[in-house]
Copies of this chain bind each other. A is one copy, B any other.
């Protein structure tokens, strides 16, 4: 019944948002004389959101939005040292270690033998680096890096793997990106919240018969078994 399981990567398999938060905190300190912490964070968020359609998701777009915000907040008086520091901060993010979330390796062990598809969005090269660094690459039938997690993007992935939406279950920490588009297609959506989730990804849970919520990846193998037993 569940023919394929899709798994989100960032903040579902490994830590990600925490690196953005740490960098954002340093960005606020760097520009502290040009506004209070909240005002700086809010300007940066506005820039990120406005730039999403042109930059897409990922660290390079975040770097460009930090640079733009630094120029704007200082009325053009930003100095080269600050710009350099922002570039370094972004480059550090692009090299950050990949720390698996608790229970992930074990859950993947218990799901072994199933068609597992990692579905993630962001910078192509950075996502590939993280898959390699995670050591989990071999656990997946396929790694699909998409520009955005729209119903159309999921439909393309499913088509490529010959899987009908009814037999697809997607699990991840973003209600907006991992759950809702898959429910819309007719699949199962499993929401595994992470304490840090970017504001853009946080939307209201719909009331839906194929939506489930779990505490952690550790609970996923049992849920899959249960859904199949009920079918």
A residues neighboring B (CB under 8 Å)? 54-56, 60-61, 63-64, 67-68, 71, 74-81, 83-84, 87, 90-91, 94-95, 123-126, 128, 142, 145-148, 160
| Known A-B contacts A71-B84, A145-B124, A147-B125; A76 and B76 likewise in contact (beta carbons under 8 Å) | no
B60 touches A71 (CB 8 A): no
| Known A-B contacts A79-B76, A124-B147, A147-B128; A54 and B95 likewise in contact (beta carbons under 8 Å) | yes
A124 touches B146 (CB 8 A): yes
Majority secondary structure, A binding face: helix
A94 to B54: give the CA distance in the assembly, Å.
7
A76 touches B71 (CB 8 A): no
A61 to B123: give the CA distance in the assembly, Å.
11
A77 touches B76 (CB 8 A): no
A67 touches B83 (CB 8 A): yes
A124 to B122: give the CA distance in the assembly, Å.
8
A-B residue pairs in contact (CB < 8 Å), sample of 13: A54-B91, A54-B94, A56-B124, A68-B84, A68-B87, A71-B83, A71-B87, A76-B81, A77-B79, A78-B83, A83-B83, A124-B147, A125-B147
